[in-house]
Amino acid sequence: MRVDNIIQKKGTEVVTLSSESSISTLLATLAKHSIGAVVVVDGDKVVGIVSERDVVRHLADTESVEGQISSIMSRDLQTCGRDDDIRHLAAKMTERRIRHLPVMDGDELVAIVSIGDVVKSRLDDLEAERDHLHDYVHG
């Protein structure tokens, strides 16, 4: 199974914010959309990602939600492509402790996948395989 299979099921909506957006705007956006991360863009260019974890670290250090998200976002952006294999993606996300990956088509942001999306996809695959084997043995 490929990343594109996840995208077909979940859709391509990606919540983005400018790197100049405030941390309080980020918090409101995360809450409004019930998401754990937003992709940070400057114009059409993806420049980073910022997550709940980044906000928590910032709060622990400063006890403040003041500032721009550019000061807390991850700039070393890990991404994936539509054709990436889900098993390899799961290993990469687990190994690097990444919970959200932007899906890119060249320089274009096309979707975002979470570790939850990947786990659900793998479970669906395993259940389908189990059902197929059950039907084969008992059919």
pLDDT at 137: 87
| Partners of residue 100 on adjacent β-strands | 114
In this prediction, residue 129 has a pLDDT band, given cuts at 50, 70 and 90, of confident
What average pLDDT score do residues 111-134 get?
Answer: 86
Range of weakest confidence among 15-19, 48-52, 110-114, 125-129: 125-129
Superfamily of domain 3-138: CBS-domain (3.10.580.10)
**Amino acid 13: pLDDT:** 94
Average pLDDT in the chain: 93
Q: Point out the least confidently predicted range of 38-42, 53-57, 115-119, 130-134.
A: 130-134
Residue 139 clears pLDDT 80, i.e. is over it: no
Question: So where are the chain's domains?
Answer: 3-138
Rounded to whole angstroms, the Cα distance separating 114 from 102 reads 9
| DSSP-assigned states of every residue in 67-91 | SBGGGTSB-S---B-TT-BHHHHHH
